[in-house]
Amino acid sequence: MGTTEQINTYTRIPPFIEIMDSTLRDGEQTNGVSFLPHEKLMIAKMLLSGIDVDRVEVASARVSEGEKDAVTMICRYASKIGKLRKVEVLGFVDGTISVDWIASCGCKVMNLLAKGSLKHCNGQLNKTVKEHIRDIEGVLEYAGQQGIDVNLYLEDWSNGMKDNPEYVYEMLDSLTTKNVKRFMLTDTLGVLNPLQVVEYMRKMVKRYPNTHFDFHAHNDYDLAVSNSLAAALSGAKGLHVTVNGLGERCGNAPLASVQVILKDQFHAKTSIREERLNDISRLVEGYSGIAIAPNQPIVGENVFTQVAGVHADGDNKANLYSNALVPERFGRKREYALGKTSGRANIDKNLRELGLELTAEQTLKVTQRITELGDRKKFVTQEDLPYIVSDVLKHNVPEEKVRLVSYMVSSAYGLKPVASVKVEINGNQYEAEAMGDGQYDAFVKALRKIYKNSLNRTFPILANYSVSIPPGGRTDALVQTVITWRNADKVIKTRGLDADQTESAIKATLKMLNIFEDINT
């Protein structure tokens, strides 16, 4: 019997695991994150229609008018696509107040926050368990009258099971007979380990076999993914996640990681469309302002990049350094880094992708130059490679089809920056002016005018923009700007280096335009 079969024999993993995404509620409790209503709508649209999560928790009741606007817009959209009952809002044991707030937004599902530990019940509410149950029952009855479905959170359930399991059982003994669709068991403070999750979840499933349990993990001990998996293996029918692992303190279980482990390691069924995971990750990264770590599994910038030359050599010969997490599965592609540990195999891979053919001796010279650059901590991209080849082999530098003739950017306190740009494109000169929210934004808007009005062509979309400055505090330090661009299905990354940040970004932009000009001619 195989490992997976053994695990399924001794556990109670359901045939299908519901995925509830809480990016817009619990994820927004990340320090410094606050989504605007239209941003919430765009994220919810992709989660519901692009990623196909089973449910999405979009807000807490009674927070603000802006929150109410967001929930109303999301519910309106969900209703149009027949998924209104997949939208959920956190509510409180406050009589009729939360129910009325949720109903006024057009929402049909409330996730009612109750106390899952005696310590919370006594210490925060100053009530007995019977008093708390009575209050919950009042909210459940009123919600039913308003046509609102209710899922029940047991906040701090983890400590409840550790310290006073009889409290948890008294709550469930009373409330499993009521109109509650799901009981959502939370490790609010992230204190559990997988063995404890297995123990406690099995006790819940054994005692209440006909009840739907969700598990809600927090990542304080870096165990959110492991604990979520343990919960599923022990009978939980639903797991809560957030995009990029956003959430209070150390965050929640990341959607992408939970999905691939469930599918690959335990053959669990979910509804998630994996090819869109990178898209939702980047969308949330942009709106939240929380950068994804380059080594974040599945969605990190570097996770499909081979750095060591021996890995590229192994891939060339027998695809030796690949596993089930192939990049194409997630709408991405494998890359081979250029640096001091690249080796000839990495460089061969990049040269072939660019259509450049070099002799063994020429490749060796290019490899040596890239190694020298790596030793000096220079960042080398595939787009730099033709210039390095030309420099090393004393060829002519690739022809500049797009050349910056002149530009001027001005900024003044209280006024938007203005840019005046003159460029030469395929021998013809064009000029334009534009205002922007910053100097570089004004520069790019002027370029967009030229491409739209003079050339009747689209201008590539800026997909990602990062700036790095060496530590040390010097005001004259070189700034490295790395910009990712997208034009139709083509994505490239260009780099600019200059003591001036705007000039650095402009250099990266001119590189990009020349590359796209080569592609389009």
Query: Which residues belong to the active site?
Result: 25, 155
The one-letter amino acid at 280: I
Q: What angle do CA 464, 286, 467 make, to 5 degrees?
A: 45
Which contacts (CB < 8 Å, 24+ apart) does range 441-446 have?
441/417, 442/409, 442/416, 442/417, 442/418, 443/407, 443/409, 443/419, 443/502, 443/505, 443/506, 443/509, 444/509, 445/419, 446/407, 446/419, 446/420, 446/421
The DSSP line for 408-432 is EEEEETTEEEEEEEEEEETTEEEEE
Closest CA to 72 of 104, 110, 29: 104
**Under a CB-based contact definition with an 8 Å cutoff, are residues 249 and 190 in contact?**
yes
Tokens 């109109």 locate to 179
Q: How far apart are CA 225 and CA 215, in angstroms?
A: 11
Structure tokens at 49: 């229609």
Structure tokens at 403: 């050349």
b/e sequence 104-124, b meaning 16+ C-beta within 10 Å: ebbbbbbbbbbbbbbebbbee
The one-letter amino acid at 84: L
- Exposure of 261 in the CB half-sphere (CA atoms within 13 A): 18
Q: How far apart are CA 299 and CA 301, in angstroms?
A: 7
Which parts of 223-372 are beta strand (E)? 238-241, 305-306, 335-336
Q: How far apart are CA 453 and CA 447, in angstroms?
A: 10
DSSP helix/strand/coil, 53: coil
Burial of 323 from C-beta contacts in 10 A (0-12 / 13-18 / 19+): exposed
The DSSP line for 450-464 is IIIIIS----PEEEE
Q: How far apart are CA 411 and CA 406, in angstroms?
A: 17
Q: How far apart are CA 258 and CA 92, in angstroms?
A: 28
Q: What angle do CA 265, 270, 274 make, to 5 degrees?
A: 80
- The sheet carrying 479-487 orders its strands as 461-468, 479-487, 490-498
